[in-house]
Amino acid sequence: MARSVLLFGMMLRSLAFTRAFSSLKPAPSNFQRRVVHYATSDELKMDNIYMEWSLEDDKILHNNRHLSPVRLASMLGRGMHGVEARMKKLTNVDSTAYRRLFGGEDIQNTDTDENISNKLTPVKEVLRRIQWDPTLPASSFSIIHYDRVEDTLCETPFEAENDSISGKERQFVFALPEHRIEAVKYLDRIVWNKELRLDSVFGSMNGKGETIDKVIENYDDWRREKEEKEERNRLRQVEILKEMHTILGEMRVATLKEMSSNLLRKEWDSEEVKDYVKRVLMLYFDAQKEREDNGSDVANALDEEEEDTFDIIYVLNLFSDLVALLPDERLRGEVLLEVESVINRNQETGGNSSDKTSQPSALPELNEDELEEKFVKGSGAGGQKVNKTSNRVILVHTPTGLRVECQDTRSLQQNRKIARKRLRLKLDAFINGDASRAGQKATKAVTKKAKNKARSKRRRRQKNQSDDESNN
């Protein structure tokens, strides 16, 4: 009797797996740990390379827009300035990037697919499928989890034995508490990630319907695309180092490389990361001082117009591009976080001497006796709460005749506050002109555009020189 029950259970399980996973292909059975090699400038010849944003990059950026620029930069291997600029394009309905992301049929079909679950599959379900699905090679999977002793993220093979957690469970992945598992990998590809809400095992959430059978089937293509991206990153690393050579000089760039290598090789903490960023800033200040006082070879190679482009904000953004290519993701995030804090401090204080502008004056106060305020019915989207109520504010400053309107929210009181703020800004521009906040913002935009133009001119000249040298 017991044998019959056992045989019946085995037949049911075999039938279920045959129906669900009949299309799966076998995958490599050995778990491999790969080490990425980063080429030096001597190994690669570099032209000016633009790191194009792929549609997949845009999807990742849009799906994780709730994360900080530092986290996004670390995730995508790009500088913070580039991530922020791309995010602005993806939120601008008139931009080509926005139309490409939301205008394609593949995206629309993906978003409206009723088969995609709006809840992330729990990691225990993912692990159980890997354990019991005979078409999935368990030795090709691993988990990324938080180690409380080392206070860091670790990677452990799926089949590793449990020798550190108390209890009867022999397999480590099932003995480990679920909340400590951050991600699941198939070979080199992450197929489940808690923070990114990604599930490419069952296809839920940001897995966008892609299941593990498709992942295994297309793994070679994915691996090839990843290697091509790594090659572009290596070329981009050389490009950035060339730019750093122009700013810091050869000796200081060699020092920067040595500092970065030392930080990667040892166990680091937040204090060491702060010290690392400070030492990078000292290299920049030393180069600036040498350029101003001694007229170094770097300064002689530049026009006066271009020399001003090397302000500290530009150098920090360039450095963040370089940091985004570091192989250690945790270190990458920590350094980018420190760089972001330095950029914010410098922007608050006006940056360095070549980038300082007069601080904006305080906004003028409004005298309620000099204001004419009307409430009229709103229009546009919002339903009856907008179209049937008088929540649109019209505010007029009688001495100057300045007029503003506000219907940004459904709340009348909020619209009144916003209208007064806008009127203060408008009055500030009327009284202070170029010294007003709006005027200084416009001046800063013009200055930035001029700097970008000068930088592009210098890069074109460097490219032409390198082309001439290669032809000769």
At 184 the three-state DSSP class reads: strand
Mean pLDDT of the 127-135 span = 90
The predicted-structure confidence for 256-273, as pLDDT tens digits, reads as follows 888 888 888 877 778 888
Is the confidence at residue 308, as pLDDT, over 60?
no
More confident position, 12 or 214: 214
Say if CB 383 and CB 340 are below 8 A apart: no
The greatest distance separating any two alpha carbons of the chain, rounded to the nearest whole angstrom, comes to 99
Mean pLDDT of the 153-172 span = 89
d(CA 431, CA 122): 60
Radius of gyration of the chain (CA): 29
Cα 188–chain centre separation: 20
Is the confidence at residue 138, as pLDDT, over 80?
yes
d(CA 129, CA 118): 20
Is the confidence at residue 16, as pLDDT, over 50?
no
Phi, psi of 253 (to 5 degrees): -65, -40
Mean pLDDT of the 129-155 span = 88
Which of 156-170, 279-293, 346-360 is most confident? Answer: 156-170
What local confidence, expressed as pLDDT, does residue 206 receive? Answer: 66
pTM over 0.75: no
Is the confidence at residue 325, as pLDDT, over 60?
yes
Lowest mean pLDDT segment, chosen from 43-47, 147-151, 312-316, 431-435: 43-47
Mean pLDDT of the 424-447 span = 80
Q: Which runs of E-coded beta strand occur in 341-420?
A: 371-376, 392-397, 402-406
Amino acid (1-letter code) at residue 397: H
The predicted-structure confidence for 458-472, as pLDDT tens digits, reads as follows 888 888 887 777 776
Amino acid (1-letter code) at residue 8: F
Which of 25-34, 324-333, 398-407 is most confident? Answer: 398-407
More confident position, 96 or 419: 419
Is the confidence at residue 139, as pLDDT, over 60?
yes
The predicted-structure confidence for 188-230, as pLDDT tens digits, reads as follows 999 998 888 888 888 876 667 788 988 999 999 989 988 888 8
- Residues in CB range of 116: below 8 A, 6 or more apart: 110, 203, 204, 205, 207, 208, 209
Is the confidence at residue 109, as pLDDT, over 80?
no
Average confidence score pLDDT of the chain: 75
Is the confidence at residue 34, as pLDDT, over 50?
no
What local confidence, expressed as pLDDT, does residue 192 receive? Answer: 92
More confident position, 299 or 287: 287
More confident position, 292 or 358: 292
The predicted-structure confidence for 369-387, as pLDDT tens digits, reads as follows 888 998 887 666 655 555 6
Mean pLDDT of the 399-422 span = 86
